[in-house]
Amino acid sequence: MSEKITIYDIAEKLNITAATVSRALNNNPKIKESTRKLVMETAASMNYKQNRLALALQSGRSNNIGVIVPRIDSNFFASVIRGIEEELHPHGFQVIICQTHENPKRENENLHTLLDAQVDGILMSVTDVTDENDAAFRNIVNNNVPLIFFDRKKDINGVSSVTIDDFKGGYMVTKHLIDQGCKCIAHFSGDLSLEIFKNRLLGYKHALLDSGMTFDEKYVIQSKSSVDAGKEAVETLMQYDIPPDAIFSSSDFAALGAIQELRARDINIPADFCVAGFSNEPFTKFMELSITSVDQSPLEMGKMSARVFLEQMEKTDKIMIEKKVVLKPELHIRKSSARTTH
């Protein structure tokens, strides 16, 4: 139907050159006011649309940024992406989404695809911490493409990151459980090669030690982030000579599983057993027995990552900037652990 209109078409119609049209459209001050107006009006009347691919090729900037996450259908990552999109949209950037499904091979592939696609930056949460993809990360940096890690980061030279203080988060929850009078607190951890889980565990450990309690590795259970994993973990724990009377789970889903299993065993929550999760998934506050959790402010994390990226973009110089932003976690105390009503 409607053929693509280029600046050449406008130029032809006005008997001027494409260069003039281009300058007029870009408000180049060297263009006569009358010409500019004429070009603008003609462009509008011909329904001209700038071909951003041509611009991208010529300028070397695609105005696209890539976002890599394990999966998009998780409240946390979706919210981060929302934040990124909202912050970047006003600046004319489009957001390209990639998923790794926790697979390092996919991660590597995504990195290359995005680089090939000439994105102007990559914001991502790493999949795991093997150094398998370190070369790929360095490759990004060497190509002068700003790379920013959010939530799950790795230490790569020249890469900025936006995370939350997982140590503090773990510490806060554990301290809270201790304050509720819990005497033996178990911890569900995730993949300990990831800093986030390592730090939550450390926070847990230090909170225990700081309160004069003992840290015992056998109360740390590595589990997946799923309801079933939580149930299984409780089954294991309840066979101990001294079963715990509280759980700090690094995953809200596992926390939920734990609660379900404990209830199946007629254990009273929070009277006899306290449970707390991490991430503040929407469902934690919806439950009748709402679940205590740590909020990671994903929206803010996304926006902040975007801002760090924008900053990095501005420095056209080859200066390598490395910014580490750490957001504060927020403890939401709910019924699953609130013994005392304030």
Chain residues in the site for DNA (CB under 7 A): 4, 6-8, 15-20, 22-23, 25-26, 30-35, 48-51, 54-55, 57-60
How many C-beta atoms surround the C-beta of residue 160 within 10 A?
A: 22
Residue among 180, 174, 168 nearest 248 (CA): 174
Q: Are strands 94-99 and 246-249 parallel, antiparallel or unpaired?
A: unpaired
Residue among 175, 145, 151 nearest 163 (CA): 151
Q: Could you say which of 25, 35, 38, 52 contacts its own copies (CB under 8 A)? A: 52
What, of DNA, its own copies, none, does residue 227 touch, CB below 5 to 8 Å by kind?
Answer: its own copies
Of 17 and 143, the one with the shorter C-beta distance to its own copies is: 143
- The footprint of its own copies on residues 142-181 (CB under 8 A) is 142-144
Q: Nearest distance from residue 88's CB to its own copies, in Å?
A: 11
Max CA separation in the chain (angstroms): 91
Helix or strand run (H / E) with residue 247: strand 246-249
Q: SS3 of 242, please?
A: coil
Of 18 and 299, the one with the shorter C-beta distance to DNA is: 18
Handedness of CA 188, 190, 191, 196 (dihedral sign): negative
Q: Is 6 in the site for its own copies (CB under 8 A)?
A: no
Q: Is the peptide bond before 270 cis (omega within 30 degrees of 0)?
A: yes
Q: Is 50 in the site for its own copies (CB under 8 A)?
A: yes
Of 13 and 106, the one with the shorter C-beta distance to its own copies is: 106
Q: Nearest distance from residue 68's CB to DNA, in Å?
A: 23
Which ranges in the chain belong to alpha helices (H)? 7-14, 18-25, 33-45, 52-59, 75-88, 104-116, 134-142, 166-179, 195-210, 227-237, 252-264, 282-286, 298-314
Q: SS3 of 322, please?
A: coil
What, of DNA, its own copies, none, does residue 64 touch, CB below 5 to 8 Å by kind?
Answer: its own copies
Whether residue 150 contacts residue 302, with contact meaning beta carbons closer than 8 Å, is answered with yes
Q: Could you say which of 95, 129, 162, 269 contacts its own copies (CB under 8 A)? A: 95
Q: Nearest distance from residue 40's CB to DNA, in Å?
A: 12
341 Cβ partners below 8 Å, 6+ apart? Answer: none
Q: Nearest distance from residue 96's CB to DNA, in Å?
A: 19
Q: Nearest distance from residue 300's CB to DNA, in Å?
A: 34
Q: Nearest distance from residue 36's CB to DNA, in Å?
A: 7
Q: Is 337 in the site for its own copies (CB under 8 A)?
A: no
Scanning 111-119, 164-172, 189-197, 207-215 for contacts with its own copies by CB under 8 A, the matching segment is 111-119
What, of DNA, its own copies, none, does residue 73 touch, CB below 5 to 8 Å by kind?
Answer: its own copies
Q: In this structure, what token pair is assigned to residue 76?
A: 């946390």
Point out which residues bind its own copies (CB under 8 A): 1-2, 4, 49-54, 56-57, 62-64, 71-75, 78-79, 81-82, 85-86, 89, 94-99, 112-118, 139, 142-144, 227, 256, 263, 282-283, 286-289, 299
